[in-house]
Amino acid sequence: MRIEVVADEHALAPRAADLICDAALAKPDAVFGLPTGTTPLAAYAEIERRVWGRRADFSRASAFAIDEFAGVPWSTPGTNSMFFRRHLRVPWPLHLPDPAAPDPEAEIRAFAGGVRAAGGFDLCVLGIGVNGHIAFNEPGSARDSRARLVSLTPESRAAHAEAFGSLDAVPARGMTLGVADLLEARALLVLAQGDAKAAPVRDALEGAMTAAVPASWLQGHPDILWLLDEAAASRLDSRAPGPAGAARPRAKKR
């Protein structure tokens, strides 16, 4: 596990873009897992600038969204489908679950099968929620959980209220790749910025591995980089022992 700390959100975006673009350069037909949310927005904008400036190429790569809402048309403001149409406008084949699928459980399971059929994720990019969720794996998600339909917590729904226009408009359920699906990625990149993420980042990195903090399951991954701004890293103690007494990696600052 590696931790890299940059000054602020303005430094995080180009560094995240570096890592994602480098993965495509190293393997042009790489398979990516991609998140939504406010944290990756600036990184996606930077990737867009590089692609149209011919400094990056994702035309042979493919990408899969790691989650989606359920029970609404894809064109509903706030869906992940609409997010990517607005914020990832580059030649990069992107696969998304259908939020209007009549059987969302079957939809997300088939979608996960599509990821495996494509060869699995070479790099899966993740954010972390204020309650420690990853994708839509809410607190209580087991280490061996697989793609499924989930009920969204009040915290997760509140985080999307602005995008949907109101809290009442946010769907109560979502489709998500499971923790086990995410851990099968050959490499993981976790992005976090801002004071609101400091506590969940600390719990995920320095606490016990527990279903109460789904992001803590990432501690067991063999190739993972946490890219944090100073605010998100502010509660970390890199000298603290891990849950089993193992030394924590020191945070690398750029």
User: Token pair of 7, please?
Assistant: 């000054």
| 162 is a catalytic site residue | no
What is the rounded CA–CA span in Å between residue 176 and residue 153? Answer: 14
* Residue matched to tokens 């994602």: 20
| 203 is a catalytic site residue | no
What distance lies between CA 9 and its chain's CA centroid?
16
Helix axes 41-52, 80-87, angle to 10 degrees: 40
Task: List the Cα angle 32/9/39 in 5-degree steps.
Answer: 40
What is the rounded CA–CA span in Å between residue 123 and residue 125? Answer: 6
Question: 249 — phi, psi (to 5°)?
Answer: -70, 145
177 in Cβ contact with 153 (< 8 Å): no
Residue 121: how many CB atoms within 10 A of its CB? 25
Which residue out of 9, 107, 133, 221 is catalytically annotated?
Answer: 133
| 131 is a catalytic site residue | yes
| 181 is a catalytic site residue | no
Which residue out of 122, 131, 181, 203 is catalytically annotated?
Answer: 131
Strands (DSSP E) found in the chain = 2-6, 31-34, 62-65, 67-69, 94-95, 123-126, 148-151, 173-176, 188-192, 224-229, 252-253
Question: Per DSSP, what are the bridge partners of residue 173?
Answer: 151
Which residue out of 9, 138, 181, 206 is catalytically annotated?
Answer: 138
Which residue out of 46, 67, 181, 229 is catalytically annotated?
Answer: 67
Please list the active-site residues: 67, 131, 133, 138
